[in-house]
Amino acid sequence: MLLRWRSQQGQRRVQKKNAYYSYTQHFHGADIAAAFYVLSLKGGFRYVGQSDWFHTDKRGQFNWNFLNHKDTPLEEVDMSCSLISYSGLENLVGQQSLRTLSLQGCPEVDDWFLARLHVFQDSLEELDISHCPRITTGGLAALRNLKGLRRLDMSSLPGLSNPGLVIILLEEMLPQCQIIASGYDLSLSQEGIEERNEQHEQGHESDKSEKQAIY
């Protein structure tokens, strides 16, 4: 029961972080609310027409000057290694000028999140989803809605079972997009396959020892 409570606490923390910032939206407008959401999740962004970025540092502190730019949509958002999830995307849905989105290493980004990215289908040009552990092939199929995508970084996705084939199919599906996919062992030799199997087993063992350490 204690273990279940611990895991539920983790889920509740993620949900709280990704709540809908309706209060901020009501008082300051959707763009400021989106900016505040990005900063609260320890991300960074850049406004349209501005050249400097607003970032949150490791201690969670950021520059409140972003409030000065009212009604300016966001152009580039960097949410690497943040706890952004499907419900949190509600805060960013209205941003029709979003050109770059970086989700490198986000643990809560999964296939349903990718499917919801269709809201940015006209504007999004660069997407970085490398090192997200929960993405699988089914979610990558949903990226076909992003007509404007020019650069996709899908390196080192541990959830992909056939990375070589998936990369080729993605290149066919998004002909105008440059796909960067490093960190996969694409060799066809027997040794490569054996090494990959060993790494997989080692990964499983280290996961188990981590689990034991937490509980």
Partner 1 sequence: MLTWRRLHVKASAVHGLLTSRLVTEQHTWVHGHLPLCQSLSTGTPVRNDFFKDLEAQFAAARQKAADAMPGSSWSPIEINPNLPPERADIVIVGGGVVGWSIAYWLKQKERVRGALKVVVLEKDPTYAQASTVLSAGGIRQQFSLPENIHLSLASADFMRNINDYLGVLDEEPIDLQFNHSGYLFLASEDVAHIMEENYSTQRDAGAKVSLLSPTQLKEKFPWINTDGVVLASYGLENEGWFDPWTLLNAFRRKAMSMGVVQCCGEVTDFKYSVNRAMTTEGKSLDIRRIKSVKVQMPNSLEYQPVECAIVVNAAGAFSSKLAQILRVGSGAKNTFEGISLPVEPRKRFVYVFHCPDGPGLDTPFLVDYSGVYFRREGLGGNYITGASPEEEKEPDPGNLEVDHEFFMEKIWPNLAHRIPAFEKLKVTSAWAGFYDYNTFDQNGIIGLHPLIPNMYFATGFSGHGLQHSPAVGRAVAELILDGNFQTLDLSRFDFRRLLNQEPMLERNIV
Q: CB of 3: closest distance to partner 1 in angstroms?
A: 6
Q: Which is nearer to partner 1, 39 or 143 (CB)?
A: 143
User: Is the CB of 67 or the CB of 173 nearer to partner 1?
Assistant: 173
148 class by beta-carbon count within 10 Å (0-12 exposed, 13-18 middle, 19+ buried) = middle
Nearer to partner 1, 14 or 48 (CB): 14
162 touches 187 (CB < 8 A)? no
CB of 97 to partner 1, least distance (A): 20
Least CB distance to partner 1 at residue 59 (A): 31
Q: Which is nearer to partner 1, 68 or 212 (CB)?
A: 212
12: enclosing H helix or E strand: helix 2-17
Q: Binding residues for partner 1, per CB under 8 A?
A: 3-4, 7, 11, 86, 111-112, 114-116, 118, 136-142, 144-145, 162, 165-166, 169-170, 172-173
For residue 86, the minimal CB distance to partner 1 (Å) is 7
Q: How many CB atoms lie within 10 A of CB 193?
A: 12
Nearer to partner 1, 29 or 133 (CB): 133
117 conformational bin, left if phi > 0, alpha if psi -120 to 50, beta if neither: alpha
Separation CA 205–CA 200 (nearest Å)? 9
Query: Cβ of residue 204: shortest distance to partner 1, in angstroms?
Result: 11
CB 38 within 8 A of CB 62: no
Instruction: Give the residue with the Cβ less far from partner 1, 168 or 193.
Output: 168
DSSP string, 108-127: T-BHHHHHHGGGGTTT--EE
Smallest distance from partner 1 to CB 49, Å: 30
Q: Which of 139, 123, 18 is nearest to 79 (CA)?
A: 18
> Whole-angstrom Cα distance, residue 34 to residue 29?
9
